[in-house]
Chain A
């Protein structure tokens, strides 16, 4: 197992190299960073000087090598717009996105898995049809439209939830991790916890809709297969209650495809986060990157792409490793 993990971690290196190279060169494809930096009123001489200064005249591999060395030193560059080091901005925006994504994923798992289990257990019942239809709607729902509707109904019309931001301005919170929920628990700041949860509800629900629907569908079909298996009958023949037959004996065997989908959905959440964050004025990575792309703020775009790719890689690794727990027949070698 340890050996397998090590091997997988080593394999991450070429993937990360590939991703960083892609992130770096992709940005150059969109145009000359020097002209973006220098602005529209710059003379050709000024641009040439800037190119010289930034090392943009060197061959691509040399530039990329330099880029890697900088990253290795923890230097992610400086935002062209704000003139703040990208690393500092990342520390600010990244936790906001993680908080939102984790909240959405938690909702999706806590709601989606039981829905799927109930639908499979009560196969062809009203609950099953409802779940199947609901998840079809959920999967097909454009997330920006849903987010706008939630905002309009629950934020504006009913006024139950705030319409943007992560926390009330009037609440003081000493930030440690920049995950506001974690910080307010760490500092035992109850008003801050309440306020940040209050702000989290609408964006998290909007972001959770598609993954919830996917997870419910996959759980349902996996459970349908498993519930017909002989070992489920054995569990019943043992005299176990239906509760443990379903939640212990059947569900563990049905989790493999569900875990796979959860992993993929975490990756897709990052994309969804960009829309959701924009609509709910959530100060996270999604909005940060979109703004950076619009402004051709290259260091930020490069960092963002890299971070998302790394999350994807590590989530997949975690999924692969968890397979072994759900299916002991999987060998790691």
Chain B
């Protein structure tokens, strides 16, 4: 597989009145062509901010991408001109957002909102763009798409709006689709439909997908590899099988332990991770998870553990004690 996206040491901060928020703290990884990568972590762990940083959509001020490289298709997106990044956005690199209720422009027809991207990136005339928009909407499962082009977002349900957003994201044949919690705002049956839809479209169109979610079930279902993020760091990364079966980071262990399982005895209590995610404004040195970690030792307070390979090269973890955890000693 060819590498499509390589991120090196990405760091994003927000300069707010209360202090500097260390939202993303040196994230490095890559995505291959046609791969589905899951990015998991709790709210505020930097999942969305790191994705927006890739697109250079961080509102500045207060946000600032401090350093790093984002190599996509042979270009470092962080150093190209504004005009170049605009050509990439919505074209080869598209994004579907969390909240379909507010992500579509309420004052414009959905037809126009998709046509706009097509005329911009693919140089289509209005007629061609409308025909393709109808095809796209049909593809994402909007019934009677031809007659819905003139409709406004408020005339669609939440699930249907997310389908429209997906159609918009796919309109210019992206090589990478960033799906930022695309199902969070939807109810459960609709969530399943949207998950299936993106999976099917990914298989048909062969694009890579970065799937940001806090739903571990979805990741297990759709992704090949997964990044577990905590406090702006990647703390564990590997194939879904490795991360779920040979879990090495205490945070991932906690996340998985908090999930209900069908094969458990009825009445088994779910375990919760004690404490709260750290305040990203005064992030201390050392492991960000130390405060909540049951495996914490002296070293964790002073030195931030690097992301290092475990038993397998492709399964990396940022924990000083992963070997002991692997052997079940700790």
Contact = CB atoms under 8 A, between A and B. Distances in A.
B43 interface: no
A252 interface: yes
A275 B91 CA distance: 57
B90 interface: yes
A279 B114 CA distance: 54
A103 B265 CA distance: 80
Most chain B CB neighbours (cut-off 10 Å) among A238, A326, A327, A329? A238
Nearest to B56: A236
Contact of B87 (A236, A237, A239, A329): A239
Interface string B96-109: 01010011111110
B330 interface: no
Interface string A213-237: 0000000000000000111011111
A45 interface: no
Contact-size category for A: 10 to 19
B90 A238 contact: yes
Nearest to B102: A230
Nearest to A234: B103
Contacts of B97: 230, 233-234, 237
A287 interface: no
Given A230-B99, A328-B152, A237 B55 contact: yes
B154 A328 contact: yes
A113 to B, nearest CB: 16
Interface in A224-266: 229-231, 233-241, 249, 252-253
A238 B103 contact: no
Interface stretch (B116-124, B139-147, B224-232, B280-288): B116-124
Interface string B73-112: 0000000000000111111001101010011111110000
A252 B87 contact: no
Contact of A239 (B103, B117, B154): B117
Contacts of A326: 107
Given A328-B154, A329-B152, A237 B90 contact: yes
B57 interface: yes
Contact of A235 (B94, B99, B105, B121): B105
A229 B153 CA distance: 15
Contacts of A241: 86
Contacts of B317: none
A329 B57 contact: no
A238 B117 CA distance: 6
Given A238-B168, A240-B120, A327 B107 contact: yes
A239 B121 contact: yes
A238 B86 CA distance: 8
A237 B57 contact: yes
Nearest to B52: A233
A329 B106 CA distance: 8
Contact of B57 (A236, A249, A327, A328): A236
B89 A237 contact: yes
Contacts of B104: 231, 234
Contact of B107 (A234, A236, A239, A253): A253
Contact of A238 (B89, B102, B107): B89
A279 to B, nearest CB: 41
30 contacts: A230-B102, A231-B103, A231-B105, A233-B97, A233-B103, A234-B97, A234-B165, A236-B57, A236-B89, A237-B57, A237-B90, A237-B94, A237-B95, A238-B90, A238-B120, A239-B86, A239-B88, A239-B90, A239-B91, A239-B120, A240-B116, A240-B120, A249-B108, A252-B105, A252-B107, A253-B105, A253-B106, A253-B107, A326-B107, A328-B154
Interface of B: 55, 57, 86-91, 94-95, 97, 99, 102-108, 116-117, 120-121, 152, 154, 165, 168
Top 7 A-B pairs ranked by shortest CB distance? A239-B90, A238-B90, A239-B89, A230-B102, A231-B105, A328-B152, A252-B107
Given A234-B104, A328-B152, 5 more contacts: A230-B97, A230-B102, A234-B97, A238-B89, A238-B90
